[in-house]
Amino acid sequence: MNIFTAKQFNIRPLQGISATTIAEHIKLYEGYVKHTNLILEKIETLKNNPDSAYELSESRRRFGFEFDGMRNHELYFGALEGEVTQISNSKLATKINEQFGSYDAWLSDFKTLGKTRGIGWAILYYDTHTGSLLNSWVDEQHLGHLVGLTPIVALDMWEHSFVADYQPSGKPQYIEDYLSQINWAFVEQIFDSVSQ
């Protein structure tokens, strides 16, 4: 009962982030996909057994961690595929300028968000209800995700994404390097698909 399949990513050579780190990181992503499927199978097996109520509850609790780990990484790696492109004269650029004053002002705020202490993700969301963009921190993979909003940019701030290449003190440089190598056409396509 494999509902989800790991995506294959064609990531170009990156400045600062080594091919070894990317390869190991993709293995972690594949683990999230595998465990998302395994937990769904386990839930299916346990849900009709009254004696498994505790195990069922814990499996359902774990599901959010694995599933969100899968989806967050798909955004993270997806933005590194293809060519590096700058944000264009697009609907997303217009929205960023309207809300943050400029792309540089948004970028500065997002970089600061990425430096939040602890493990988690810096995420730029789009709220279809209000038509607004929000920068927000997510603990681990899943704690604090904003309900009903679409992630547009997802920056992994778990140590495995940067420590081998940057050491713990190199966190700010990792943030700089990742954000300078995004394929903004990928991000803009997501935004265009959910904005009116």
For 174-190, b where at least 16 C-beta lie within 10 A, e where not — what string? bbbbbbebbbbbbbbeb
Distance of alpha carbon 64 from alpha carbon 8, whole angstroms: 22
| pLDDT surpasses 70 at 1 | no
Do 19-78 and 91-194 agree at the fold level? no
Q: What is the pLDDT of residues 126-144, one digit of tens each?
A: 999 999 999 999 999 998 9
Domain 91-194 has CATH 3.30.1360.120: no
Q: What CATH architecture applies to the domain 19-78?
A: Orthogonal Bundle (1.10)
Please give the backbone phi and psi of residue 57, each rounded to the nearest 5 degrees, phi first: -60, -45
Q: Which two tokens stand for residue 83?
A: 């060519």
Residue 85 pairs in a beta bridge with: 183
Q: Give the residue extent of every domain in the chain.
A: 19-78, 91-194
Q: Which two tokens stand for residue 96?
A: 């960023």
> Mean pLDDT over all residues of the chain?
95
Q: What is the pLDDT of residues 78-121, one digit of tens each?
A: 999 999 988 888 999 999 999 999 999 999 999 999 999 999 99
* Residue 28 identity (one-letter amino acid): L
